[in-house]
Each structure stands twice: as structure tokens, then as C-alpha cells.
């Protein structure tokens, strides 16, 4: 791993990952290189995580091509987090979730059946966390209200007070997310994105 060291009048070491995924270390004036290296090694996992996130963000907003490994790592974290969120929400809403599946869907972020089967677009793993959580909350709330009535949106807002901005985010960035290339496969007709 390459990193850039700046020595300053400070007492402790610090590491920062920049927006363009560069690693910057700040160190006290006479801090030995070996000490800095050991510190970096110790923080390796944290650094790699943040470098990857910075790269994903950059790719997502510019090139729209995702490195498969980075995507899969992101996806693993995402699906784990979502499973936890669903468990919690199901308890709060007093509903029974039968099955959760993640799919690379073309037009939907999520759907929910009356039998309690939840399906989520795996591309949500490259959306902001709060947006992905909103979709999960949206689908879970459909297990209480199978419609988009005022009562439904009331329930959504109870669990996700900022839902309007997340909805707006999906509206303006959704098609870009759908069009992102993963694993070398180009998405066609990715203009529509709707909810169930």
C-alpha cells in the first residue's frame, strides 16, 4: 500500500483517506519510518475499507464501471446489514418475513409479496446507506399496508423520517445506478426504476 507522510508538530499519528482514495499519514516531526509503517499495518483493514469506498464513490459518479471484487465486498456488507435491519423492523412492525432475496433487477428497487417474501435490488449496495435502508423500510411497511395510502407513508415516515429526500435521491440517481457496469455486463433499457 502506498501512502504519503507529512511530518508536523504533533504528538500522535493520524491517517486519512482522501476523496480520490489516497492515503495520507500525519506524523510527529521525528517519528521513525518503521513506527509509521507499523501504525499503517495495524490500521490496514480500516484503510482498505475506506480506500474501497472512495473508489466506489468515484466510479459510481464518473466512470460507471465497478470492479467486481470491490462490488462483491460491498454487497456482502450490505446484505448482512440489511438482514439485521429486516429482523429488527419485522419485530417493530409485528410482521413475519418469509424470505429475503437479492436480485439484479432492471426496473425495481424492491418488492414485497403478501406471503412475506421480500425482494431487493442488489444494486442498492452501491447506493447511500440511508437510501438503501429507506427501500427496505418501504418494502417492510408494505407488509402492513399493501398500498401507497397516507397510512402507508405515515408508517414509513415513522421509521424513516427523511424518506422524502431518499425517494428524491433514487429518482434522480436511480437510472445511473441501474446502468452501472458490473462484471463487464452492460445494462440496457435502464431508464425506468419503480417501486412495487
Q: Give burial (CB, 10 Å; 0-12/13-18/19+) of 29.
A: exposed
Nearer to Zn ion, 39 or 195 (CB): 195
Nearer to Zn ion, 31 or 166 (CB): 166
Minimum CB–partner distance for residue 122 and Zn ion (Å): 18
The 137-176 site mask, x for binding Zn ion (CB under 5 A), equals ----------------------------------------
Q: Does 195 bind Zn ion (CB under 5 A)?
A: yes
- Please report where in the chains the cell 425482494 appears, as a residue: 119
The three cell numbers locating residue 2: 502506498
Nearer to Zn ion, 140 or 178 (CB): 140
Backbone angles phi, psi at 81, to 5 degrees: -65, -45
Helix, strand, or coil (residue 66): strand
Binding region for Zn ion (CB under 5 A) out of 29-37, 39-47, 61-69, 188-196: 188-196
Binding region for Zn ion (CB under 5 A) out of 30-38, 98-106, 128-136, 187-195: 187-195
Element (H, E) at 5: strand 4-8
Nearer to Zn ion, 149 or 191 (CB): 149
> 96-112 in b/e burial notation, b at 16+ Cβ within 10 A?
ebeebebeebeebbbbb
Nearer to Zn ion, 147 or 189 (CB): 147
Minimum CB–partner distance for residue 160 and Zn ion (Å): 13
Nearer to Zn ion, 58 or 144 (CB): 144
Minimum CB–partner distance for residue 141 and Zn ion (Å): 8
Q: Does 75 bind Zn ion (CB under 5 A)?
A: no
C-alpha distances in angstroms, 44 versus 14, 19, 70, 74?
A: 13, 18, 16, 17
Minimum CB–partner distance for residue 97 and Zn ion (Å): 16
Task: Report the candidate in 38, 29, 12 with the shortest Cα–Cα distance to residue 3.
Answer: 38
Task: Report the candidate in 10, 13, 104 with the shortest Cα–Cα distance to residue 66.
Answer: 104
The site for Zn ion (CB under 5 A) is made up of 195
Amino acid at each position: 500500500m502506498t501512502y504519503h507522510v507529512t511530518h508536523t508538530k504533533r504528538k500522535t499519528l493520524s491517517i486519512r483517506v482522501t476523496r480520490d482514495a489516497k492515503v495520507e499519514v500525519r506524523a510527529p516531526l521525528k517519528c521513525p519510518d518503521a513506527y509509521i509503517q507499523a501504525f499503517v499495518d495495524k490500521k490496514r483493514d480500516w484503510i482498505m475499507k475506506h480506500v474501497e469506498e472512495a473508489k466506489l464513490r468515484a466510479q459510481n459518479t464518473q466512470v460507471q464501471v465497478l470492479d467486481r471484487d470491490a462490488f462483491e465486498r460491498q454487497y456482502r456488507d450490505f446484505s448482512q446489514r440489511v438482514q439485521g435491519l429486516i429482523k429488527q423492523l419485522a419485530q417493530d412492525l409485528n410482521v413475519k418475513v418469509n424470505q429475503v432475496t437479492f436480485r439484479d433487477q432492471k426496473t425495481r428497487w424492491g418488492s414485497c409479496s403478501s406471503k412475506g417474501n421480500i425482494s431487493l435490488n442488489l444494486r442498492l449496495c452501491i447506493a447511500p446507506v440511508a437510501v438503501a435502508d429507506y427501500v427496505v423500510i418501504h418494502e417492510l411497511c408494505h407488509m402492513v399496508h399493501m398500498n401507497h395510502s397516507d397510512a402507508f407513508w405515515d408508517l414509513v415516515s415513522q421509521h424513516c423520517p427523511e424518506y422524502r429526500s431518499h425517494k428524491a435521491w433514487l429518482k434522480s440517481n436511480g437510472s445511473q445506478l441501474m446502468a452501472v457496469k458490473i462484471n463487464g455486463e452492460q445494462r440496457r433499457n435502464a431508464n425506468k426504476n419503480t417501486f412495487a
